[in-house]
Every structure is written in C-alpha cells, then in structure tokens.
Amino acid sequence: SASGTHFHLFLFSLPKTFVSVVTILSRSHADRNVYPSAGVLFVHVLEREHFKGEFPPYPKSGDASSDPITFNTNLMGYPDRPGWLRYIQRTQRSDGVLYGSPTAEHVGKPSVIEITAYNRRTFETARHNLVVNIMATEEFPLPYQAEFYIRNMNVEEMLASEVLGDFLGAVKNVWQPERLNAINITSALDRGGRVPLPINDLKEGVYVMVGADVPFSSCLREVESPHNQLRCSQEMEPAISCDKKFRAHFHIDWCKISLVDINKVVPVYITRSEPGTGVLPEFGEYNPPSESLMGRNYFSDFLITLAVPSAVALVLFFILGYTMCCRREGVIQLVHHGSIQKSTKELRSMSKNREISWPLSTLPVFNPVSGEVVPPIHPDNYETTSMPLMQTQTNLQNQITIPQQRPSGWYSLPHFEMIGGVLTYFHIE
C-alpha cells in the first residue's frame, strides 16, 4: 500500500495447487489503500485497538481496553456503502468487519469508504478513509462454483482467516482443484433465515461460495443421487462419504448445497432503457391559481346529508304509526299489551295486601264422630306469600274427607277433589 497499509495473503500450497484468501488488516491511522481482486472474497477488519490511541484513556490504569467502540461505514458522499460491500460488528467490544465480493463491473472504479469510530464512553469520534481499488483477474470468473451452508457458524466467525482457511483446506481435499478461491460469504439471516434462540449455543448459519477450475468431484455429486434426494425430501440427513472430512469443525447441510457450472448457464439479458439527463422538459411558465376564488354553494350538500335522511325517517315514522294505531292487527297488539300490564299491576297489588281471608285448607277441622280437631294442612307459621294461587292435587293430597252425622243415622261425608284444576265440593252418603 502507498500509505502504509499491510496486506496479509494466506496461501495453502500443495504440489501444483494452491488456495488464496485475501485478508487486509489496516494498522495505520492515515488514509489507506486496499487492492481487492474481482471475484475473490475481500475482508477488511476494523480493529478497536488501532483507534484507541485517538481517544483519551481511562482515568484509572488498566481500564483502557474496556472502552466500547462502534463503527459507521459509508461511501463518501452517500449514506450507505456500495452494494457489494457489507459490514458487521456483533458487540461494542468486538472488532468490525467489512467484507464482500466485487465483480468485474467495479474494476477501475476507486471507492472511498468513510470509517467513523464512536467512543461510547466519551462520545468522541475519529474518522478515517479507506480507498478501495478493485483489480481485474485473468481467471475470473471460475467456471465451477459450489455454495455450502454451514450450520454451526456465524458470519463473523467464518470471516476469521484461520477458520476460513481450514474450511477451504477441507474443500480442497475433497475437490482436488488446480485453483480454489473463496468467492462470497453470506449470513443465513440475509437469505430469510430466522434468528436462533439463545439456547444450546445455536448459530445463525452462513453460506460460503467457493469457485474452482475443475469439475465437481464424485463426492460433491453424491447429493444429486435419487436416494439422497429422497432423504432430503423427507428431511433426513443424506449419506455423503466425504462428510467426515468436514464434521470435525463444520456441520454442513448437504441438502442445501448448490453446484453451478457457469458454462452451462443460459445468460439472461435484461434490456434497460437509456437514462435521461435528469432535467424536466420545458413546459412554459407556471401559472398559480387566482387569489379571488369563487364561493361554493353548500345547499346541495345539506340536502344530501341532512334533509334526505330526515325525510326518509319521517316517512317510516308515519308508516309505523298507521300500522299500530289504524289497522286491526296493531290495535289488537295494543289491547293485548294493555291487558298484560293491567294483570301485572293487579298481581303486584294482591301480593302486597296481607289482610286476606285464609283458605279453608288453613283452618282447623272438627270431626263430629270422634270429636277430634284435625289440624290444618298448613301450620300457622306457613309463609302465605309463597302459597300458590291454586292448589294442585299434590298440595291437597288428592282429597280430604270429613264425616258428618245426620238425624236419620246416615253420615254425609263432605268430599273435596281437584277436577280439572278446580277444587270441587260434593257430599257422599
């Protein structure tokens, strides 16, 4: 770098094969230049330690490392970053990471990224510029591309050079390419995934796309077999022979692997209209409305909102009055209603009047034969207010017989019996 930027190029070499991962760590506080390659994953770490020198230290010794620092990144003159560049910082006490994969469209177009560091203790800021110069590569794009979904990783963990290098080394052992590059890394949350529950150390998951210059190995194509496709449709783990080479550190969902041969992909051309100059055509001078506006007549609005509903309600009122007062059906309903009200008032007045004659069933009865006084059916303390207006056969115990002596020597028995709901009295000789 022309301004003191440090480049770290991690190479994994075997005979006639190598794997490249470019990770750029900036350790100077001046404006810096970086030179990522098109079609290769670009990672730039914003280390908190490099910005602490620009903020005042803690009053107490040994507490300088506890400053919470966050970063804000944007393209100079714009509120956000370029479309291919992403940024992540998990907590205020972790480093920030810029990552992405530039394409051939961005070659030769330097981008100035403004990096603003915020000290959350002192509320001070420090701003640096990062100049991104995208370089062209001869092997871009690599014809064979495979995308893996790793379930036990977060994106910031996968972006670490050691972790990414281990993963590419495992892919290289399975694929055996001449050249292998990490093309892109995407969080599962950016693909519509759900935020995991904070239990059992669950991870968000990450998609890693790699490219190579040789066709896919037989192990990678095992997932395309009908047997494994059936297991994936049943949400079962497919049987992949080379899974053990990843299982130690990476849990790969083989049902979500994507194998693409760009030589067989049919290109889709989208026709776009030529953009204009951004200047509106000439339509002449603008004529504002006149200051003397004509008055508006609200009489028609009044008729629609008030008069018409009132007229309809009045007509309905007259129809109802005629039906209830002038027609036979309405008069009968009124008379019936009046009789019900009158009967209700009489029953209420009777219930309030306590000075009424006692029923015969409540008086003592004298037996002329035995001279015994028969007690009444209801005792003196019987609650008369709850007494029914008409005694039923159950109340009278079906019948009551009182013998009477006659001069001829015959006895006449008064007989009471409930017939048809009416208490009937007659003699039996």
Integer CA distances (angstroms), 419 to 231, 370, 392, 427, in order = 86, 29, 10, 15
Place of tokens 């281990």: 166
Specify the DSSP element, H or E, that contains 232: helix 226-233
Residue type, 113: I
Q: Are 259 and 146 in contact (CB under 8 A)?
A: yes
Query: Which pLDDT value is given to residue 19?
Result: 40
Q: Taken in order 152, 157, 163, 167, is the CA torsion positive or negative?
A: positive
The structure tokens listed for 299 are 């009489």
Among 164, 167, 158, 6, residue whose Cα is nearest residue 88: 158
Tell me the per-residue pLDDT of 25-43, one tens digit each, with 9 for 90 and over: 333 345 789 999 888 899 9
Return the H-helix or E-strand segment holding 226: helix 226-233
Q: Position of tokens 């002329």?
A: 368
Indicate the pairing of strand 17-25 with strand 179-187: parallel
Nearest alpha-carbon partner for 262 in 360, 411, 147, 362: 147
One-letter identity of residue 63: D
Closest CA to 210 of 158, 251, 245, 255: 158
DSSP-derived 3-state class of residue 102: coil
CA dist., res. 107 & res. 137, Å (int): 10
pLDDT means per 10 residues, the chain with 429 residues, are 36 37 41 87 88 75 69 92 92 91 86 92 89 84 90 91 92 91 91 83 91 91 91 90 89 91 72 68 77 79 87 91 74 78 83 61 59 58 50 46 49 51 51
Phi, psi of 243 (to 5 degrees): -65, -30
Q: Does the predicted model carry a pTM greater than 0.85?
A: no
The pLDDT, as a whole number, for residue 352 is: 72
Residue with token string 């015969």: 360
Query: Nearest CA to 206 among 189, 223, 226?
Result: 189
- Look at the alpha carbons of 276, 279, 285, 286 in this order and tell me if their dihedral is positive or negative: positive
Q: DSSP alpha helices (H): ranges in 42-184? A: 155-158, 161-175
